[in-house]
Amino acid sequence: MIKSSNTVGHRATITRADRERLNGHRSVIVWFTGLSGSGKSTLAHAVEERLYELGCRAFVFDGDNVRHGLCGDLGFSRGDREENIRRIGELTRFFLEAGVIALTAFISPFAQDRRRVRELAGDGNFIEVYCRCPVEICEQRDTKGLYRRARQREIAEFTGISSPYEAPENPELVLSTGEAPLEACVEQVVACLRQRRVIAPAGNL
C-alpha cells in the first residue's frame, strides 16, 4: 500500500520494448527456488555466465547478498520472509522494464509469496525453476553448518527443519540438482529460455 498521496508515477519515453530491441533479447524473471543447499545460487550464477557468453544482459539477485543490503533489516519470521520476497519482486519488476534477464536465487519457501511475484511480473514474464534436492543431500553440502545448528535448535525457523518449504506445484522447470551435473542444469535453463523465445535459438546469437 502506498502511504503517500503526493506521488505520481512517471511514464518513460524509452520503453521496455525499446530496451529489449537494443539488447537483442526479451527480459524475464527466472526465479530459482529450493531448500538451502539445493544449488540455487551456484546454478543462477552459472546461468548468468552462460548468458554473458551469449551476449545477453543478465543479473543475479542472490538471497544472502540481498540480506546484506536491501533487506538487511529483516529477520526470518514468516512476516519478514514475506516482506523479503515482496521487495525482491518489486525490484525485479524494474529489471523487466530495463530489458534485463533477472535471475533470482531465494529459498522463497511459501507458494503464496512466489505467486504474488508471478502476478506482479505479468503473463509470460516469470519462469519458476524448482531446484529439487533431498534435504539429506542439502545437509551434506552445508559447509556453514546451518542444518546442524538448526537441528540443535540454535537457529529458529530454518526451512526444511523447523519451518516448512512449499514445493512448487506447476513450475516452468524442475531440475534434479541433487544428482544432475551443474552444466546439464545450466543447459536446461538456457534451452527453456530459447523455447520461450526469451533469447534467440541456438546459432542466432
Q: Which residue from 188, 187, 178 is spatially nearest to 132, judged by alpha carbons?
A: 178
Q: Which of 108, 162, 163, 176 is catalytic?
A: 108
Q: Is 108 a catalytic residue?
A: yes
Q: Which residues are catalytic?
A: 108
